[in-house]
Structure 1
Amino acid sequence: MKQILLSCTIILCFLRLHAQVNIKGTVLDAGTGQPIEGAMVQSRSGSIAAVTTVTGSFEIRLPSLQDSLLVQHGSYSPRWVSVAGSSNGVLPPVLLQAAYNQLEEVPVSTGLQLLSKERATGSFDKISASRLNEQVGSNILARLEGVASGLYADNKTNAASGSLSIRGLSSINGPRVPLIILDNFPYEGDINNINPNDVESISILKDAAAASIWGTRAGNGVIVITTKKGRLNQALNISVNNNISFTRSPDLFYDKKINSSDFIDVELFLYEQGFYNSNISSTARPVLSPVVEILVRRDNGSISPAMANNYIDAYRSKDSRNDWNKYLYNTGVNRQHALTLNAGTDKMSWNASVGLDDNKDNLGAGFKRITGKTDQRFLIGKRLQLSAGLMYSTIHSTAGRPGYGGIQPASGDLPPYVMLADEAGRPLPVMRTYSQGYLDTAGAGKLLNWNYYPLTDYKNVDNSIRQQELLATAGLKYDFTKALGIELGLQHQEASSDATQLYNAQSFAARDLVNGFSSIDYSTGAVTYLIPRGGIRNDAHTRTKSYNIRGQLNFNKRFGQQQLNAIAGYDVRQIKSNGHSATTYGYNAGNLSYAPVDFSRQYPHFITGANTLINDGVGFSDKTNRFLSFFGNAAYTLQSRYTFSLSGRRDASNLFGVNTNNKWSPLWSAGTAWEISREKFFRMPWMDFLKARVTYGKSGNADPSRSAYTTIQYLTPNAFTFLPTARIDQFANPSLKWEQVSMMNIGLDFKAFKDRLSGSIEHYRKKAINLIGIAEVDYTAVSTSTLNKNSAQMKGSGWDIVLNSENTKGAFSWRTNLLWSINSDKITRYFIPTKDGYFFVGDGNSINPVIGRPVYSLYSYRWAGLDPATGDPRGYLGDTLSTNYNALTSDGTQLSDLVYHGRSLPKQFGSIGNTFSYRGLSITARVAYKFGYYFRNPGLRYSQLFNNGRAPASFAERWQKPGDELGTHVPSLTYPADYNRDLFYAFSEVLVEKGDHIRLQYISLSYNLPARVLPRKSIRGINCYVSIKNIGILWRANKSGTDPDYPVGSILPGRNTALGFTVNF
């Protein structure tokens, strides 16, 4: 009997071991066909689990083919899948239906805690990695444009995060940058240090209930970046992502400038008028244009009039932009490689990644970034959890070739006919600092070549920046009970930036400076070089260290139909930065030698004879900012229907004045939410989910560049006495405090028609007080009549609307996402030193502090057309036609006499994205729009044309004879130029147009290869993708053909196309 039982036991064990099978599969969105990353796949018992990769693939080992799998994700309805139907261990694609009715279960991060939508009263937007990856690029924040409601990106600025605003402006003169939170701590570094491939999701905190927990830094909204982490009970997953993108050269002809022939006609006219005589005879030898140089040579008999005319006529057909396109601009190429590994057991999880970006822009400027990141989590017993993370980044940026508009002679812009190379492609000298006619003979050939060759000079300049950043985090979490726990967190950040600008001995900068401080003994022919021959090296170094320590109590408990979630803690943070700079002369990069220079003496300049000090380039800086904060947040939920929240934070800092730090005035918020669809009286069968939210609270905005104390800036010694000099940088302001922003938010979340339609509608109103603005002070106490103090106020309001629709289901699906934001603001308090009209007219790119109007408002002089007899622009003094430009542009025109057009920032903006999917193929197209604003076209100013060589193409449309006024508004040419006449026309209403437009922002296409075609069993999934952005405008309201995001005078970027693939093992 024992033998029989033993035999049966052995057979059963063998059968059990033999029955264990590996099951592979892919989890896809049933509506879009897109892979779902982060879905949990569990066995029936729950003891065996796996998590899907970025391509939606998973692999799990089960004891039997009779088992079944539970597949679930926070954004989708869960699904049970039988593994009996697998073919060779490969399941058919598992399709999950998007569960908009479960939107409340998707957690969002505030940076201090995870909140479920079920109990959230505040306004949040969460952007998943899949949405972020619809675009390709090295900057994570650049991917946010058009994919989050209430988030506006101003393309007219170049800053990575400075161009972003959340729900409009909350400050006038203070910082406007949203607070960046990276893995639960404020991020003080360069956003370019963050590899987008490491990002799991981004949460945007928009109202006071969501953001006020961050206190005096949350007034502009908060962007919370959460990076990828390993998960418990997860098999090893390896993901490789590679892509390459190509950026076409920009359209240089978009910038419509005066053509060469017209420009030459103006130069001929000015020459005959004697306009250039003072420059021609000046002992300073100022730079002259090639045409003027020819005219000088003609008049001194060096060349004949016929030859001069031939030379000049040859220039008329030239356009320097052709040479820029031919020799300097190329297709930009960016390469991005990323490797991610993660795994986990029941006691620990880990994630590790490395990334490499190797970019070359259209001008050959380089951007090389290497990133490394690792995170670990350890479970010790049932109550203790330890975590640690390390992120490292190194960036090497190098300058490229000079761009169009980047070469500016001392006289202003380059004439449009100045070419960079001759017909044979040989580099030509280009006007830079001094007259070419003088340089040809300066020093009787004994000086260094004084010509500037743009096509070769950049090769003699090494302009580079090396950045490094190390970010270390450590955390401890201990649960005293199931409800009560404590968290301790530490973050240490070190960053360095080393900028080097090296002009070697052959560079124009070095040759120009050496020649300028040379002297020649013509009797002997000896040359004395006061600045040693060789290279010039400029160095600037900065170091930043920051520490952040946080202690936090967490309480989460359910009492029957009641639930209480609360946190309380403290935060201590210090940011210390210092820097220094210096200049070295006679530098030799080969042997690292240099030559000493006497910086204390003044030397005569070779051309002007003026005594000048040699710049030593020495500078030092040191800054320390400290913050101490206490915070708390609590949310109480009753019957899963009613939620009440309350939060508060108190900040103190060495930035604030004593009067502020001594006051206990915390920033706070309160909110409530009501899930109406759970009520018994709710009788709307087509409405599946309905929730109302109301919040009110206060957050702040602190400017680290301002101090409550008198600060002094020490300068270089006086040039004559050699004694130390200094100036007062800021006067004492003991009442300096943070700017305070109060916001009320009313929101409605809904889902209808069985998940086919969902979204949210929110209305907000905000009031900002204690804003930094100009204030009058007693000028007998300080050396100025005004100071920047907490004296200004503004209001704002708006709507954020999000609509998601599932238009078709099945094998072919079509989904739509609409984002629509409306925002308005107005100044309610601001000191204005004058009411004269000239103070308020402008191009709309700077603040316009008119009470009752938007911060960025556009005003113009009233336009009365051109004088039919003279072509002079006419305006109004009162109700009277006038050409008295002195009066029109001064106190003769008051603010009340100006034309108010409206905002120069869009009042309405958003996007609409459509995703079409068929099985593994998916294509997304997103169209962005901006409405309700104005911009100013550049106006012809004859004073700029004469003095700086700067004029738009509208010069060809100028008034020239009676009757022309019927078809043009460009004034006639007058000599000498009337500066006030130019100002009046340039800021008149006739040049203003509506900025409304619609553009195709990007198209993204992806394809998941079917499991049956994968080359190896070890490969879980392959996803191939193509992304195209900067596609172009579909419609614009203006008739000038201007792209309002890139005003005339800027360069229109080229289209970007990226191709890539992701492989998961």
Structure 2
Amino acid sequence: MKKIIIFMALATLCPFFKVHGQTNYLIKGRVIDSATNSPLIGATVRIKTTQILNHTDKEGEFTLSSKNVSGILNVSFIGYKTKELSFSVENQYDITISLTDDRNNLKEVSVVSTGYQTLPKDRATGSFATVDYELYNRRTSSDILSKLEGVVPGLLFNRNTAVNANGTNDINIRGHSTLLSNDQPLIVIDGFPYQGDLNNINPNDIDNVTVLKDAAAASIWGVRSGNGVIVLTTKKGKENQKLKIELNANVTFAKKPDLHYDPNFLESGDYIDIEKLIFNQGYFDSQIGDPTQVISPVVQILAKQRSGSLSNDEANAAINNLRAVDSRDGLSKYFYRKSVNQQYNLNIRGGGLKSDYYISVGEDHLLSNLAGNSNNRFTLSSNFNFYPTKDLRINIGSRYTISNQWNNSQLNNIGVRGNLGNHIYPYTQFADPKGNSLATTKNYNLDFVNTAQQAGYLDWNYRPLDEQSFSDNQISSRDNLLNFGVNYKIIKGLNADLKYQFENSNGQNSNYYSLDSYYARNLINEYSQKNADGSITYPIPVGGILQQSNGFLNAYQARAQLNYNNVFGNDHEVTAILGAELNSTINKSNSNTAYGYNKDTESSTSKIDFADLFNLNPDLGTGQIPNNQNFSKTTDHFVSYFGNASYTYKQRYIVSLSGRVDKSNLFGVATNNKAVPLFSSGIAWDLSKEQFYHIDWLPDLKIRATYGYNANINKSATAVTTLLQLSNSYFNGQPYNEIANPGNPELRWEKDRMINLGIDFASKKNIISGSFDYFFKRSTDLFGPSPLPPSTGVTNFFGNTASTVGHGFDLVLNSQNVSLSNFTWSSNFLLSYVIDKVKSYSGDYTVIDYLRAGAESITPIAGTPTFGIYSFKAGSLTHDAGDPQGYINGQISTDYTNIIAKTTVSDLYYNGPSRPTTFGSFRNNFRYKSWSLSANLIFKLNYYFRRTSTSLSYVGIAYGGWNSDYSKRWQKPGDESSTTVPSIQLPPSNNDRETFYDYSQTLVDRGDHIRLQDIRLAYEMKFNLASKSKINHLTLFAYLNNVGIIWRANKDHLDPDLFTGSLPLPLTISLGLNTNF
């Protein structure tokens, strides 16, 4: 079998061989780090005055073929001082060469990883971005992705979107290549896609990161590469390395959020004046006696004053007391706190002649700034390599994570603003002067609530301050990952890899509500049935309620791969991989609710009537008892074949080619049968190595060009018709089915064609270095809806019907501004530009869909950006009434009903993109002796956001439409010259007037801003070997994050990077150390 493999490999690569007749002499050696004796992978070893060269392998070893018996070797490696030494074949056959670190001339990480192979960056044709260990750990964070913000060109963190299931914001590499499918990059860890929760990965285990941005870099990942790929490589041990112990520890403090930032608030005095105004108009008259209507404390006082229950003096005194209350003070005092995040990590690594090892243990504790919320994480990871023979390497790795998260904050229930849902008023008090909990309004009229208990119901009062101790809401997860690999060296330059990885993840979300909790009391009371004799029966048992949901993931991944790397003669070098892999992912979930649950005995009542309809209290109609019972299972299978090869001629001309075929149970039969590969190709030319190149001030110049296809999949559509089984129909209480997907045998992946043109450069002594990449992409076969005739039984067909185009560039500039023996100053500037436009889309979007879209929703109008802000065209306010003005058929108007009805999509005003099209960072690094200081500015330009404003009716304000714009409202003729906020109307209000104003161009501002993201100060101590201390290295640091915005385009001092309704991230201060023994 071995002979057959050798024969096939040689037959495949035979076009690259040359035959030589003269005698050649073999030179063998090893290149190591002078400080650690660890091998340097990818170092260049050249025979001086010739083109004979080779690169060191994973053991740091090299082999050269020389025509002469003696000569001079030139050995270089990025980040190390170049070394020259003489050799003589007669006296030296095996040479050990040690290189010295040269930090001042470090340009960039020299090796890039695609997840399938590592290769020197100077031999890559694709567009890669690399983050080394030092840069990655500059930022303090407990998650693996946020450390990349502001240090990777083309990578944008969309902070103005909601966080995803992993608790992170939406991120994109070079914009969007899809419309309705997953738009997040593929995350690869140690060669395999990671399927679990990213919060399970300890960032202290990461050694370096490579971001794959174009087709030549990422297409090897096939149908999962369309959004770019982030490859993380974890720390490993090294052969012949002494035991090394490393400790990382840090504590991060953050102050409470600034609740007074939120413009969606109204001072208590203004709010009370509004309540009194509409009370006198009779607005609340029909609600005061209705148990289902929530009446504010002020309205209750006014009603009692009117009925004579309170005197005028008593009522005025009570109301004046409320005018002095600011609910934000109580929220900040009782429901927020300063957060503390502790991170500890200890790892050991080393190796001998036949093995190496890495073991890491980590512990994280986060006390959230939301009282009642916290989480803990424990991680244990290991990696072992064994070398039974010279040609065989066995790798065994594991990762185990336990995490627990408690979510008992009551802010989700009481909110910071709003009235209809949460009923917290600007003057709400949560405790009396002695600290005793007070009841607040929620769901029902307080007069009804106060008498309900006398009628036999459970206490129906809601006391936010008590609720935290009455609930136990916990998310627990266990994540196990095991991998195994074998690498066997078949012949010189050719080796085989067999790898297998198994990942198992179990998560449980448990929400327990004791009988004392408002949730349990309210639900039990709602379904309680009052009998004719006045007694009460309880269809929901009197007791606690436990809601549970469980998720299970099993992912199996196996790969067989041949790797080839060799140098032929003086001028030819070939690197190639060829392989196949299997991937299978099974996701299962279930959920249920237990009523009458006793936490001590862990028992509940099993006889619950979920089928019948019950009368709901108080006078809420009828309903079924929620059972929350669901079961689901999804299975994804992939079979893939891939290959990649590159050829280098005279170390200056590089050609690469990559191809991959994916088959999956998600695709249609026709697509799987066609087996059309995704491919990419690239070329590179190192101009600076040409004999005619004589630009002394620019000694390094390389140009690149790539072309190819990436792809993306959408798991919500399948090739076959699928049914969704549901239970307990509202009409008959019986199970029923829905067609979840009508099926599409022609279903195929989304394709993203990309062209990338790049240039890498460096001036003399690396005073200025960097790169520039321009890219153009066209995405076709994107998933989108297509309307179908109702007679088909399906109103929309979801398939490969849409397309987009895009282009942009990434610029990287690094400069060594000052380089003295005791002081250095360097800078890093990143600038990216990307614009995506919709080319075709057949979905039926309405005018209101485009108006409501923001940074999270697409606006698929052909020829415009994928994410845009659209508005009603607006004129100035009217002089006599302060009404906003719009347009009908080009004519100014205040007929809001007709403006809304007659405005078409083409009539809408396009403000601009809702996501930044220009973004980047500017980082400065200073070092004086053992001190270092760095600061990073992040900028986002050329985008817009829609801000909120006040409701235009007093009733709307009373029911939550608060905003500081209320004080800027039009009040008298002439105000229109100094404000754009319309007048506020008394009942009856005009809802169309409000809708027009909410979505008018008046409320759209520019989002451009520059933010001082972070500052890091560190003191580094190194101990020489002669020192009695066992410590080799110690770094103490202080890190400030979320320092603040230093410039913004909008005049309202708003943070455009906030998701609607959220508060600015507070300044955090981290103190920490890193040391090794």
Question: Secondary structure of 1:171's match?
Answer: coil
Report what 2:549 is aligned to. 540
Q: Give identity over the alignment, percent.
A: 37
2:662 maps to 1:654: no
Aligned position for 2:221: 214
The 2-side partners of 1:94 and 1:493 are apart by 40
Seen in structure 2, the aligned counterparts of structure 1 residues 71 and 323 have a Cα distance that, compared at 3 Å, is farther
Q: Is the 8 A contact 1:38 1:73 kept in 2?
A: no
Give the paired residue count: 990
Equivalence map 1:659-674=2 (5 Å): 659-674=670-685
Which amino acid is the alignment partner of residue 195 of structure 1? Answer: N
Which amino acid in the other structure matches residue 444 of structure 1? Q
User: Is the 8 Å Cα contact of residues 804 and 840 (structure 2) preserved in structure 1?
Assistant: yes
| Letter matched to residue 1053 of structure 2 | G
- Classify the secondary structure of the residue corresponding to 1:949: coil
How much is the aligned-residue C-alpha RMSD, in angstroms?
2.5
Deviation of 1:79 (Å)? 7.1
Which structure 2 segments of 5+ residues have no match? 1-32, 44-73, 86-98
Q: Tell me which residue corresponds to 2:146.
A: 142
Structure 2 partner of 1:823: 834
Q: CA separation in 2, counterparts of 1:1058 and 1:997?
A: 25
Q: What do the CA deviations read for 1:623-676 (whole angstroms, capped 9, x no partner)? A: 101111110100011010100000011111111112221212111100000000
**Residue 521 (structure 1) shift:** 5.7
2:994 aligns to what SS in structure 1? Answer: helix
Query: 2:62 is matched with which residue?
Result: none
Matches within 5 A, 1:432-581: 432-444=442-454, 446-520=456-530, 526-560=535-569, 561-581=571-591
Change in CA separation of 1:170 and 1:864 when aligned onto 2, cut-off 3 Å: same
Q: Tell me the residue number matched to 2:366.
A: 359
CA–CA distance in 2 between the matches of 1:154 and 1:1029? Answer: 17
Distance 1:717-1:895 versus aligned 2 partners, 3 A rule: closer
Per mean C-alpha deviation after superposition, the further-off stretch among 160-169 and 754-763 is 160-169
CA gap of 1:250–1:823, structure 2 versus 1, over 3 A, is: same
Instruction: Identify the residue that residue 88 of structure 1 maps to in structure 2.
Output: none
CA offsets per residue over residues 717-745 of structure 1, 9 Å max, x none? 22442322222222212222111101000
For 1:250-296, what per-residue CA distance to the aligned partner results, in whole angstroms no more than 9, with x for missing partners?
Answer: 111111122222222222222233333343343x5222222222233
Go from structure 1 to structure 2 and tell me whether the alpha carbon gap of 1:223 and 1:842 turns closer, same or farther (over 3 Å shift). Answer: closer
Q: Secondary structure at the match of 2:586?
A: strand
Whether the 8 Å contact between 2:717 and 2:798 is mirrored in structure 1 is no
Partner of 1:1022: 1034
* Structure 1 equivalent of residue 328 of structure 2: 321
Residue deviations 1:1024-1060 (CA, integer Å, cap 9, x gap): 1111101100111110101111256321111111111
The one-letter code sitting in structure 2 at the alignment partner of 1:887 is: N
What is the CA distance between 1:947 and its match in structure 2? Answer: 7.0
Match of 1:422 in 2: 432
Report how far residue 844 of structure 1 moved. Answer: 4.7
Distance in 2 (CA, whole Å) between partners of 1:254 and 1:519 is 46
**Which whole-Å CA distance do the structure 1 matches of 2:83 and 2:649 have between them?**
29
The aligned counterpart of 2:158 is 154
**Given the alignment of the two structures, is residue 605 of structure 1 paired with residue 640 of structure 2, yes or no?**
no
2:675 is the alignment partner of 1:675: no
SS at 2:728 equivalent = coil
**C-alpha distance in 1, partners of 2:693/2:106?**
19
The secondary structure found in structure 1 opposite 2:604 is coil
**CA deviation after TM superposition for structure 1 residue 1012, in Å:** 7.5
Paired amino acid for 2:563: N
Using the TM superposition, give the Cα deviation of residue 405 of structure 1 relative to its aligned residue in structure 2, in angstroms: 7.8
Change (3 A) 1:95 1:111: closer
Matching residue's letter, 2:114: T
Aligned equivalent of 1:690, options 681, 684, 701: 701
Distance 2:495 2:620 in 1: 76
**1:839 positional shift:** 4.2
SS in 1 for 2:759: strand
Q: For 1:132 and 1:119, locate their aligned partners in 2 and report how far apart those are by CA, in whole Å.
A: 24
Partner of 1:862: 873
Aligned to 1:274: 282
Contact 2:1023–2:1029 (CA under 8 A) maintained in structure 1: no
Helix, strand or coil at the partner of 1:459: helix
| 1:665-814 mapped onto 2 (5 Å cutoff) | 665-784=676-795, 786-810=796-820, 811-814=822-825
Q: Counterparts of 1:654 and 1:832 in 2: how far apart (Å)?
A: 26
Q: Is the 8 A contact 2:423 2:441 kept in 1?
A: no
Counterpart Cα distance in 1 of 2:465 and 2:39:
52
Counterpart Cα distance in 1 of 2:721 and 2:428: 51
Which stretch shows the higher mean deviation, 588-597 or 179-188? 588-597
Give the AA of the match of 2:538.
Y
8 A contact 1:298–1:304 mirrored in 2:
yes
Q: Which SS does the other structure have where 2:322 is aligned?
A: helix
Cα distance per residue 1:94-153 (max 9 Å; x no partner): 86244457x5x8111100000211220000011012111111111010111101000000
> Distance between the aligned counterparts of 1:814 and 1:174, measured in 2?
44
SS in 1 for 2:81: strand
Q: Does residue 1:374 correspond to 2:382, yes or no?
A: yes
Bigger drift between 398-407 and 196-205 goes to 398-407
Q: Which residue of 2 aligns with 1:1032?
A: 1044
- Identify the residue that residue 258 of structure 1 maps to in structure 2: 266
Report which structure shows greater RCO (CA 8 Å, sep ≥6): 1
Report the Cα offset of residue 450 of structure 1: 1.0
Structure 2 CA distance for partners of 1:473 and 1:80, relative to 1, 3 Å: same
Counterpart CA distance in 1 for 2:193 and 2:854 is 35
Contact 1:841-1:861 at 8 Å conserved across structures: no
Matches within 5 A, 1:615-630: 615-630=626-641
Partner residue, 2:200: 193
Deviation string, structure 1 residues 932-960 (Cα, Å, up to 9, x no partner) = 11111113233682573222110121111
Deviation at 1:38, TM superposition (A): 9.2
TM-score, normalization: structure 2?
0.88
- Counterpart of 1:14? none
Decide whether the 8 Å contact of 1:209 with 1:671 is kept in 2: yes
Q: Partner residue of 1:7?
A: none
Q: How far, CA to CA, are the matches of 1:127 and 1:162 in structure 2?
A: 20
Give 1:383 deviation, angstroms: 1.2
User: Does the 8 Å CA contact 2:419/2:959 hold for their aligned counterparts?
Assistant: no
For the 8 Å contact 1:504–1:510, the answer to whether it is kept is yes
Q: CA deviation at 1:479?
A: 1.2
Q: Which amino acid in 2 is paired with 1:115? A: L
Cα distance in 1 between the residues matched to 2:1036 and 2:849: 57
Query: What CA deviation, in whole Å up to 9, does each residue of 1:677-700 have, x standing for no partner?
Result: 001111201111000000000010
| Residue 184 in structure 1 maps to residue 194 in structure 2 | no
Pairing 1:918–2:928 present:
yes
* 2:321 is aligned with 1:331: no
Q: In the TM superposition, what are the counterparts of 1:947-966 in structure 2 within 5 Å?
A: 948-966=959-977
User: Displacement of 1:500 after TM fit?
Assistant: 0.4
CA gap of 1:39–1:337, structure 2 versus 1, over 3 A, is farther
Deviation string for 1:455-479 (max 9, x for gaps)? Answer: 1101111010110110000001111
Aligned mates of 1:97, 1:605 — CA distance in 2: 73
Between the aligned partners of 1:772 and 1:108, the Cα distance in structure 2 is: 32
- Mapped to 1, the partners of 2:656 and 2:130 lie a distance apart of 20
- Is the alpha carbon distance of 1:280 and 1:729 closer, same or farther for their aligned partners in structure 2, counting shifts above 3 Å? farther
2:615 partner letter: P
C-alpha distance in 1 between matches for 2:956 and 2:39: 61
Q: TM-score, normalised by structure 1?
A: 0.89
- Cα distance in 2 between the residues matched to 1:661 and 1:162: 34
Q: Does 1:990 align with 2:995?
A: no
Counterpart of 2:7 in structure 1 is: none
- Judged with a 3 Å threshold, the aligned counterparts in structure 2 of structure 1 residues 391 and 334 are, in CA distance, closer, same or farther, namely same
1:890 is matched with which residue? 901
1-side partners of 2:812 and 2:564: how far apart? Answer: 33
Q: Distance in 2 between matches of 1:140 and 1:112?
A: 21
1: CA distance, partners of 2:559 / 2:1025: 51
Aligned to 2:949: 939
- Whether the aligned pair in 2 keeps the contact of 1:254 and 1:1048 (CA below 8 Å) is no
CA distance in 2, matches of 1:357, 1:411: 36
Aligned residue for 1:1053? 1065
